[in-house]
Amino acid sequence: MNKYLDISPEVREALANGRPVVALESTIISHGMPYPQNVETALRVEKTIRENGAVPATIAVIGGRLKAGLSEAEIEYLGKKGRGVAKASRRDLPVLVAGGRDGATTVTTTMIIASMAGIKVFATGGIGGVHRGAETTMDISADLEELAQTPVMVICAGAKSILDLGLTLEYLETKGVPVIGYGTDELPAFYTRRSGFKVDYRLDTPEEVAAAFRAKLDMGLHGGMLVTNPIPEEYSMDPERINAAIDEAVAEAAQKGIKGKETTPFLLARIKDITGGDSLASNIQLVLNNARLASAVAKCLANG
């Protein structure tokens, strides 16, 4: 057991008894939505996982401790503190832990802490990737490197459509990360169901997804697996409308000189404003959809 890691009693008991557990990130709480909607959404996602037969493990860094499984009070704390909580990627963990600080975990750090705890399935909204213009800025999310080395399955609604999706897929291919389309041959683009880019493989049931990941682990292959789950049709946004909003937000970020880890929160906030809040409503629904699928896959893995 890692000496910096705290596993909640509920999660610890589930893991000890071979019950399905689903990891959840905390950046969506502190950096993804305003209070109290962020707390309400986090608790709603946890409830959805429980209703679907699994145990939620929301992950964060609180007071320098790596947390796998948060109490409602801890989720409330992160929600109220908001952007006062550091957005924690791999590079930040040593300083946050040594200094007794708080951190909201990204896809990267959620994977790291989940793996430390023995959790194999993680549900999120969308992963980071290769940013537009990365051929000159070198702005590439650490999420892609983590997928290449940490044995956790990430279930998401595709890469965020603020990214260069083609280059993101190329990067994942280079790193040997399988990109699975759940019930689709095409990479979902977060707010919309289609991107025009093909995934590596289409799998249509939780059993098939679990079997593929189990085989990967059994063969001792490094890294995780990316399962892309399209946003439900009724919540999918019009591609022209959302792409226009993205283009406007990207241009504004460039004009203001926003770079690095501040880019994604800025773009998502601006897209929400430009779409009159519709993008946030879609974001919530796709996270719930991913939580349901993650619960089903985690149950298949637990059942062997």
Residues 6+ apart with CB under 8 A from 223: 147, 148, 149, 150, 151, 175, 176, 177
CA 304 – CA 83 distance, rounded (Å): 40
CA 226 – CA 246 distance, rounded (Å): 24
What one-character DSSP code corresponds to residue 232? Answer: P
Phi then psi for 128, rounded to 5 degrees? Answer: -80, 180
Q: For residue 214, give the amino acid letter.
A: R
What one-character DSSP code corresponds to residue 239? Answer: H
Q: Token pair of 271, please? A: 């897209």
The partner residues of 65 in beta bridges, in order of sequence, read: 62
CA 76 – CA 38 distance, rounded (Å): 9
**What is the set of active-site residues?**
25, 160
